[in-house]
Structure 1
Amino acid sequence: MSKLALVTGATSGIGRAFAERFAADGYDLIVVGRRRDRLAAFASGHPGVRVRTVAADLSTEEGIDSVAEYCAGEPLDVLVNNAGVSHYMPLAELPADKARELVNVKVLAPTLLMRAAVGGMQQRGTGTLINVAGMIAFSGPADPSVMPRRAVYAGTLAHLVAMTQALSAELAGTGVRAHVVCPGVVATEFHSAQGLDMSAVPRMSAEDLVTGALRGLELGEVVSAPGVEDPGLLQDVFAADLAAFGGQSPQLATRYRSS
């Protein structure tokens, strides 16, 4: 019996590369995207694979609920939460509808799709949840010279990292794994769609990014960063997180007391 993977944002870039990899590995697929023409083209381009297409806008409650039904009702082996929107702009300049779209796609949709899928995976004792975040998740402490500013976008990716780490701990011993991959700059339509020319910037291929994520899973990593050569850098970040978490006290810290 073939394994089954559901991939959101599967019609281009990283999502398409994930779908292509799973198709090559013999998975049946449920591919999710906004554009029916691209979904149909993907399906027709893979005649040897069982491909079901779902046209859904994950910035809307209706779109999220429709995909969640597949996550709850199908015996998924893999769920890839890849769908994304860019909206790189400072908070004060970010229109409310774009802020809502960004949070729905990168926070609410992954949360509800994983919630819908994880129960069945636990019952079957197997399954993999993959979230696509980005290295911008670690950019919060950067000083004001680092541009472009993108507070909401960075916050959504940081949420995915922290949520996946906490979820991985919740799922320990169940046979279900949670993983988040953090790309740097990847050669996709993501930046050109917002009018940014990245042609002079070194970029990783989407295929290499997928290779890194899947190899990270094999290595037992919860957070993979395919463009970071030294894994100790990430471990230092996580060790500092835990040190700060463990260093708290019910007593007011000295520096906050009146002089």
Structure 2
Amino acid sequence: MRNTTRLHESRTPAPAAGQGKGTAVMSTLALVTGATSGIGRAFAERLAALGHDLVIVGRRKERLEEFAASHPEVGVRTVAADLSTDEGIDTVAEICAAEPLTTLVNNAGVSHYMPLDELPAGKARELVHVKVVAPTMLTRAAVAGMRERGEGAVVNVAGMIAFSGPAPHSQMPRRAVYAGTLAHLVAMSQTLSAELEGTGVAVQVLCPGVVATEFHERQGLDLSAVPRMSADDVVTASLRGLELGETVCAPGVEDAGLLDAVFRAELAAFGGQSHRLATRYRAA
């Protein structure tokens, strides 16, 4: 049975700040999806510590409210929404379009790890909605205002599995739909970054490896013996990557030249095409 969309909004106002005569304080506003745990929660915590007002989105209303109550120093608006549904996506997209966001973090995810022929239709649909449709529609809604204001940042949380397509079956289990959704985020972010060049709006796709969160536990996977990066370190990499101007941020890849080599090869293949049929496809 498909999940029922749960929509709930509440707002904790930011405390009044003393201002000197004639002094205006500009607030920054970040929207984070999947903010109730893991990387999303770490983003919300860090952005609050930096003084950003927040719109936090997740399925678990009680966790959202707990976060808001524990951060009275900033304004926190909570939105309980299910991004696996059109209703949930539309609700959050309306907020992205209406509010003067300075940062959008598309972090929400679902952990449906299984081969395509074993993936139930409902889970496949949920995965594509959460990791493809939601980031696309939320980014679309937010970017127009960011561009008009001449500033902003969009962070799409993907993962290194986005680059795992060429791996043989013996090297890693197949997760065709999951890997495909993350690869979509990489290509969309890179192309959108080029579209927005010179506008003051930055786009980043964040590609961590295995992270120590509840994500794998919900899939029934015990990765306690696997070395994992902390969610806090992932956020540190993302924010530093934005400062460095990185479109693709891979927190665990020490040699950034490896990523550059991948992208140069992709562009070489793109540029190497012709209207003529390649020799290997011609009859002997």
Global fold match (TM > 0.5): yes
Partner of 1:67: 92
Residue 149 of structure 1 and its aligned partner are, at CA, apart by 1.3
Task: Work out whether 1:146 is the aligned partner of 2:171.
Answer: yes
Q: Which residue identity is paired with 2:225?
A: A
Match of 2:117 among 77, 81, 92: 92
The correspondence of residues 1-259 of structure 1 with structure 2, limited to 5 A, is: 1-259=26-284
Structure 1 residue ranges without an equivalent (≥5): none
Residue 49 of structure 1 and its aligned partner are, at CA, apart by 1.3
Q: Give the number of equivalent residue pairs.
A: 259
Distance 1:244 1:224 in 2: 23
SS at 2:203 equivalent: strand
Q: TM-score, normalised by structure 1?
A: 0.99
Q: Deviations over 1:190-227 (max 9, x none)?
A: 00011100000000000000000111111111001000
SS at 1:87 equivalent: coil
Q: Deviations over 1:115-141 (max 9, x none)?
A: 000000111011101000000000000
Residue 2 of structure 1 and its aligned partner are, at CA, apart by 1.4
Distance 1:160 1:139 in 2: 14
SS at 1:228 equivalent: coil
Q: Deviations over 1:202-254 (max 9, x none)?
A: 00000000000111111111001000000000000000000000000000000
Q: TM-score, normalised by structure 2?
A: 0.91
Q: Which residue identity is paired with 2:61?
A: R
Report which of the two structures shows the higher radius of gyration computed on alpha carbons: 2
Residue 9 of structure 1 and its aligned partner are, at CA, apart by 0.1
SS at 2:95 equivalent: helix
Q: Deviations over 1:153-179 (max 9, x none)?
A: 000000000000000000011111111
